Structure 1
Amino acid sequence: MADAAQDVAVKEGSLDTAKDLFAGAVGGVAQVLIGQPFDIVKVRLQTTTQYSSALNAATTIYAKEGPLAFYKGTLTPLLGIGACVSIQFGAFGFAKRYFETANAARSLSAAKDLSYGQYYAAGAFAGVANSVISGPIEHVRIRLQTQPHGAARLYDGPLDCVRKLTSQGGGIRGVYRGEAVTIIREAQAYGMWFLAFEWMMNADAARNNIARSEVPAYKVALYGGLAGEALWLGSYPFDVIKSKMQTDGFGENMRYKSMRDCFAQTWRGEGMRGFWKGIGPTLLRAMPVSAGTFAVVEATQRALS
C-alpha cells in the first residue's frame, strides 16, 4: 500500500514538473518578444561609452541601424530563452515541492508552507540550473547585439558566432566565457525574483482570504512586474561584469583575465557608478517583461490544472 502511494506521488510530481516546464516555455517566448528592444539598449550602455543616455542609445540605434536592429540576435534567445524560462519554472517547482515534503516530514502533518528563506533557495536553485544554458545563449546574443553594423559585422548569425567563439576561445571555454559570474548572477537574481513574487502572491491571498489560484490576473501581472524590479536591483552589478567579460577579446586582445580582475578594473576605472550603467532601461524593461512572463506562466499553469 505504501509503495502504491509512493508511486502515485512520484507520478504526480513528474506531471507537475512537466506542466511547470511547458508553462515556463510559453512564458519565455513572451519574455523575449517583450524585452528584446530594451535589452539591446542595456547591453550597448554596459559595454560602450558612445551613448550619453538610454534615450540617446535608442535613437542612435534607430537612426543608424533601423528599427529591426532592436531585434538583433533575437533568434538565439527566442529559441533559448524559452528553454531557459522552462528550466527556471521547472526547477523552482521541483525545489518547492522538495521543501514542502521536507517540511511535512518534520512536522508530521500535511505539506507545510515554505519559509521565505526556502523560497529564495528554490529560486537560487532554479537560477543555477538555468545557468548551464543561459550562459552560452546570452554570450552569443550579446556578441550579436554589440557587433558593428553593415559590412563591418563580425558574425553572420548565431551558428557562425558559436563557431568563431569556439575557435578563438580555445574550444567550449570560449562559448562559456563569463560562466562563473553568470552562475552567481543567476542564483541571486532568481532567488530574489521568485521570493518577491511568492511573497506578494501569498500576502494577497492571505489578506483577502482567498486561494492563491483566485488572485486576479491583473494582480499576478503587477506582482510579476515588481518581482522583476527586485531581480535586477539585487543582481545588476554581476550582470554588468558578465556583459563586459562576454564582449571581451581573446588571446592578446583579452582585457579581463578573470571575473575578479573585471570587478577590480571596473571599480578603478569607473567607481561604483560603473556597476550600475544601464540600470535605467533595465528597470524600465523589467516591469513589462517580468509582468508578462508571470502572467503567461500563471495563466498556462491554471489552464493545465
Structure 2
Amino acid sequence: MVKTRLQGKFDVPPQIESWELNYLVDRSSSSRLGSSLRIIREIFYHEGGLVAFYRGLTPNVIGNSTSWGLYFLCYGSLKDTIRAYRDKKGQILSSSDYFIASGGAGAITSVLTNPIWVIKTRMLSTGSRAPGAYSSFTYGAKQIYNAEGIPGFYRGLVPALFGVSHGGLQFMAYEQLKLLRSWSKTTEVSQTKSHSGTEGLGNLDFFAISSLSKVFASSMTYPYQVIRSRLQTYEARVIYRGAVDVFSQIWAREGMAGFYKGLGPNLFRVLPSTWVTFLVYENTKFYLSRLE
C-alpha cells in the first residue's frame, strides 16, 4: 500500500479541480526522506488503524498466487522447449535463452492477470472511506465493467508488457548465479551437469541468489511499475493521455527520482515473498525429481 501511494504522486493539472482528486493517491511531487513514514501515519490515523493496511489483500493474494503459478508453468514449458532445441544442436542454454523463456512467460502472465492488478492498484491507492472507493474485489470488478467496459481492465497493460523484462532479467540473473555458485562448490562435475543442475546448492544459497537477482531486476526495471500504477488509478484517463504522457509528466515535474519513488518499500515487500517462492519452488522441484 505504501509503495502504491508513493508511486502515484503527481501534480494536479490546471484543468482538474483539486477537490476532484482528494480521494486519489498522494500528490506531492517531491521525493524526500520520511515520505514512507508520513504515509504510514496518515493511513493509520485517518483510514482505520491497522485494518487499513490490509485493504486490497484479496486481489493481492489472488494476483500473486495466480501470477506465480502461471509464470512457473509457462517458464518451465518454454525453457524445456528451448532446451530440446539446443540439445538437438549439441548446445547448452545461454543467458539469452533464459531471458527469452522468462520474458515470454511474463508476457502471457501479464495479459491474463492485468485485470486483477487494476483492481488492486485502485484499492490500495485510496482509503476505504474515500468517495468512490471500491469496498471489495468483486465490487471493484463490477464498477470497472459498468463504467469503463472490458478495456478498463487492461489499463496499464502496455507498460506491464514492457515490464516483462523484469522477470526476464531476474530469471536470467537467477539461473546464471545458480550456475556460478554450483561451479564454485563442485569441481568434478561434467559440463552437462554443471549447466543443467544445481548440485550442492542449499537453502542458504537459494536465499542469497534469489535476493541478488530480485534486487538487480527491480533496480533495472522499477520505472515501468511507477508508470503502470499511475495509469491504473481511478482518474488516469482524465489526467494522462497514455504511457508516454505519464513518462513526460514525471520527467518534467519530478526528474529521474520520480521513477524510483517507492523502491525501498517495494523491495521490503517483495523480498520475503521472493525468498519463500524460490525456496518452495527449488525444494519442490528437488523432491519431485527424486520421486521419478
Q: How does 1:177-188 map to 2 (within 5 A)?
A: 177-185=155-163, 187-188=164-165
Per-residue CA deviations over 1:54-81 (Å, capped at 9, x if unaligned) read: 2222233233332222221111121232
* Structure 1 counterpart of 2:19: none
RMSD: 1.9
Any gaps of 5 or more consecutive residues in structure 1? 1-39
Q: Is the 8 A contact 2:55 2:128 kept in 1?
A: no
Are 2:208 and 1:222 aligned?
yes
Are 2:145 and 1:166 aligned?
yes
Amino acid corresponding to residue 159 of structure 1 in structure 2: T
Provide the C-alpha distance between the structure 1 equivalents of 2:215 and 2:236, rounded to a whole number of angstroms.
34
| Superposition TM-score, scaled by structure 1 size | 0.79
* Structure 1 counterpart of 2:73: 90
Considering fraction of residues, name the structure with more helix: 1
Q: How does 1:230-249 map to 2 (within 5 A)?
A: 230-249=216-235
Which stretch shows the higher mean deviation, 285-294 or 274-283? 285-294
Which stretch shows the higher mean deviation, 89-98 or 56-65? 56-65
Provide the C-alpha distance between the structure 2 equivalents of 1:202 and 1:287, rounded to a whole number of angstroms.
21
Distance 1:226 1:68, change over 3 A: farther
Deviation at 1:293, TM superposition (A): 1.4
* Structure 1 counterpart of 2:11: none
* Structure 2 counterpart of 1:105: 88
| Superposition TM-score, scaled by structure 2 size | 0.82
Which stretch shows the higher mean deviation, 205-214 or 270-279? 205-214
Per-residue CA deviations over 1:9-33 (Å, capped at 9, x if unaligned) read: xxxxxxxxxxxxxxxxxxxxxxxxx
SS at match of 1:212: coil
Distance 1:300 1:151, change over 3 A: same
Deviation at 1:286, TM superposition (A): 3.3
Amino acid corresponding to residue 233 of structure 1 in structure 2: S
Provide the C-alpha distance between the structure 2 equivalents of 1:100 and 1:77, rounded to a whole number of angstroms.
33
Q: How does 1:109-148 map to 2 (within 5 A)?
A: 112-148=91-127
SS at match of 1:206: helix
Which stretch shows the higher mean deviation, 157-166 or 285-294? 285-294
Amino acid corresponding to residue 46 of structure 1 in structure 2: Q
Amino acid corresponding to residue 58 of structure 1 in structure 2: I
Provide the C-alpha distance between the structure 2 equivalents of 1:134 and 1:226, rounded to a whole number of angstroms.
26
Any gaps of 5 or more consecutive residues in structure 2? 9-25, 190-196
Are 2:272 and 1:288 aligned?
yes
Q: Is the 8 A contact 1:224 1:292 kept in 2?
A: no
Which stretch shows the higher mean deviation, 239-248 or 282-291? 282-291
Provide the C-alpha distance between the structure 1 equivalents of 2:257 and 2:168, rounded to a whole number of angstroms.
24
Provide the C-alpha distance between the structure 1 equivalents of 2:2 and 2:234, rounded to a whole number of angstroms.
18
